[in-house]
Amino acid sequence: MHITLEALRAIVGPTHVLTGDDVISRSVDWMTGAPCQAGAIVRPADTEQVAAVMRACHQVQQPVVTHGGLTGLVHGAEASPDELVISLERMTAIEEIDQVGGTLTVQAGAPLQRVQEAAKEVGLQFPLDLGARGSCTIGGNIATNAGGVRVIRYGMMRQQVLGLEAVMADGRVVSSMNRMLKNNAGFDLKQLFIGSEGTLGIVTRAVLRLQPPTPSEQTAMVACPSFGALTGLLSHMGKALGGSLGAFEVMWQNHYRLLTETLGRHTPPIATEHPFYVIIDSLGSDVERNATQFSEALESALESELIVDAVIAQSTTQRDGLWAIREDIEGLVKGLAPVLTFDVSLPIADMQRYTNALEAQLTQRWAEAKLVVFGHLGDGNLHISVSVGSAEIEVRREVEAMVYQPLATLGGSVSAEHGIGLEKRPWLATCRSSAEIELMHTLKQALDPHRLLNRGKILS
């Protein structure tokens, strides 16, 4: 590294600069468990210390990689021995909650679940929700523009952020801690940092938008007889629930059957013979009215043959049991090991044709290939898991071509919510025009001319 440990210790204190085994013992990849290879890890306590670290790094052109909860899946947290990791793990303070304005001000290292709980304590809610809620951090959610299971109602992380504070590559602090819903005074600078994966600045604080509580939550799992019925059900439930549709999570039969019948990790609440399974959530403020509306919507869907079977959760335990099937990523990884995972988006109408063609191509190349599909569907997002008996880089590149190349003609994206990182960088041009990529390089050059921030992520 170019920067000295003494310079870092002078800024954050001697106990907050980690080296040697304290670095290697940390994993930077949830899927593989790969160890951190950075030259050192520095743990600042606030924006001022982050800025001081970056000023020192800028003086000697020391590249840095920012770490949050380390739940990413595109190798965005990888660091080489000549790079310094800036971990925001000490920056977890919830600074203020404005119940009248419906905002929460927080440091970027705070876990998502902690923010959800803090909002709930004052009778509000922070609606972003991910399976990694206990580990992922607000800064990481912002940097990757996280999605999750309630995008269909509340939008992605971008829609939850009113203002933020970020440290630039040269140590300057851009504080745009807006608390208002409407602010058209010039450029909306926070958008530069949301979804940019730490390549343009390090987000250190944020003002988040809170929502009214939805104490009534109705949940059901249903089975659909065809893809046409599935898309018809999405439209039907959206209209019948009058805006209370909170989640529409679809599992292809290959996903549902693997985690229930094949692996035996969950008792199947519905027989495994159907092609599609959906978890539907309705969120409302009136328990009795919401329950009636939800039940009537499902009954009319059954009468219209959009669904062929259904089970409605009668308790929190039953609801958690239904969601456990959808969120059992650990079981999916173990059941398909070695597994290759993908996160794509494409027009809903093209999904069945796309997945059928992909499965045919995979099995033609590898006779024992397995394809497992689940996704948010209502927002166009599919998660694809592939097992072909090997995860070697040459095999992965071949599978990637099968997964990604058709998206170009469909107007899809190689990343729906996980970001680009290092893993998807070779495929960025599949879903972004040359003019768009050129503009990304222009922004990077303007804000980080020495390529110090998350070097090589998103852009080469």
**E strand or H helix at 310, and its extent?**
strand 309-312
Q: Determine the Cα–Cα distance for residues 456 and 159; give it in Å rounded to an integer.
A: 27
CATH code of the domain covering residue 34: 3.30.43.10
Q: Convert the pLDDT of each residue in 243-266 to its tens digit.
A: 899 999 999 999 999 999 999 999
The tally of domains found in the chain comes to 4
Task: Mark whether 352 and 434 lie in a shared domain.
Answer: yes
Asked which of 40, 56, 87 is the last residue of a domain, the reply is: 87
Q: Give the domain-ending residue among 54, 87, 120.
A: 87
What pLDDT does residue 378 have?
85
Beta strands 309-312 and 202-209 are unpaired
Q: What is the pLDDT of residues 294-350, one digit of tens each?
A: 999 999 999 999 999 999 999 999 999 999 999 999 999 999 999 999 999 999 999
Q: Would you say 37 and 80 are in contact if contact means Cβ atoms under 8 Å apart?
A: yes
How high is the pLDDT of residue 381?
Answer: 95
Residue 454 within any structural domain of the chain: no
- Indicate if 389 and 418 belong to the same structural domain: yes
pLDDT at 29: 84
- Is the omega angle on the peptide bond into residue 347 within 30 degrees of 0, that is, cis? no
Q: Give the Cα separation of 449 and 183 in Å (integer).
A: 30
In angstroms, rounded to a whole number, what is the distance separating the alpha carbons of residues 77 and 14?
24
CATH number at residue 225: 3.30.70.2190
Domain-located, residue 451 = no
**C-alpha distances in Å from residue 274, one per residue of 191, 227, 318:** 42, 11, 21
The answer to whether 166 touches 203, Cβ cutoff 8 Å, is yes
Please give the helix or strand (H or E) that residue 277 lies within, else none.
strand 276-284
Strands (E) located in 61-193: 64-67, 84-87, 94-98, 103-107, 161-167, 173-176
Residue 107's alpha-carbon distances to 90, 104, 300, in angstroms, are 9, 10, 46
How many CA atoms does the CB half-sphere of 44 hold within 13 Å?
Answer: 25
Domain assignment present for residue 54? The answer is yes
| DSSP code of residue 36 | P
Q: At what angle do helices 287-303 and 227-240 cross, to 10 degrees?
A: 150
Residue 39 neighbours by CB under 8 Å, 6+ apart: 1, 19, 23, 81, 82, 83, 84
Amino acid at 65: V
CB–CB of 211/243 below 8 Å?
no
Are 183 and 104 in the same domain? Answer: yes
pTM of the model: 0.94
Asked if 115 and 138 sit in the same domain, the reply is yes
C-alpha to C-alpha distances, 90 to 109, 152, 198, 214, 260, nearest whole angstrom: 7, 33, 18, 32, 40
Give tens-digit pLDDT for 60-107. Answer: 999 999 999 999 989 999 999 999 999 999 999 999 999 999 999 999
Is the CB of residue 318 less than 8 Å from the CB of residue 270? Answer: no
Is 446 a member of any domain?
Answer: no
**What are the pLDDT digits (tens) for 119-157?**
999 999 999 998 899 999 999 999 999 998 999 999 999
What pLDDT was estimated at residue 87? 98
Q: How do residues 408-449 score in pLDDT, each as one tens digit?
A: 999 999 999 999 999 999 999 999 999 999 999 999 999 999
Query: Would you say residue 448 lies in a domain?
Result: no
> Do 119 and 150 lie in a common domain?
yes
Q: Does 427 share its domain with 358?
A: yes
Where a domain ends, among 150, 182, 209?
Answer: 209
Domain range holding 235? 216-327
Residues 104 and 186 in one domain: yes
242: confidence class by pLDDT, cuts 50, 70, 90: confident
Q: Is residue 167 part of a domain?
A: yes
**Residue 118 falls inside a structural domain:** yes
Tokens 């951090």 identify what position?
Answer: 137
State the Rg of the chain over Cα: 23
Would you state the pLDDT for residue 246?
94
CATH code at 98?
3.30.465.10
Q: How many residues does the chain have?
A: 460
Coil, helix or strand for 341? strand
Residue 433 has φ and ψ, to the nearest 5°, of -75, 165
Indicate whether 60 and 98 sit together in one domain. no
Secondary structure (3-state) at 111: strand
Helical (H) or strand (E) element with 437: helix 434-447
417: domain CATH number is 3.30.70.2740
Same domain (yes/no): 78, 110 = no
Is residue 148, in this structure, part of any structural domain at all?
Answer: yes
Is the domain of 186 the same as that of 220?
A: no
Residues 280, 304, single domain; the answer is: yes
E strand residue ranges, 72-215: 84-87, 94-98, 103-107, 161-167, 173-176, 202-209
Q: What is the pLDDT of residue 30?
A: 78
pLDDT (0 to 100) of residue 304: 97
Same domain assignment for residues 205 and 220? no
Type of residue found at 341: T
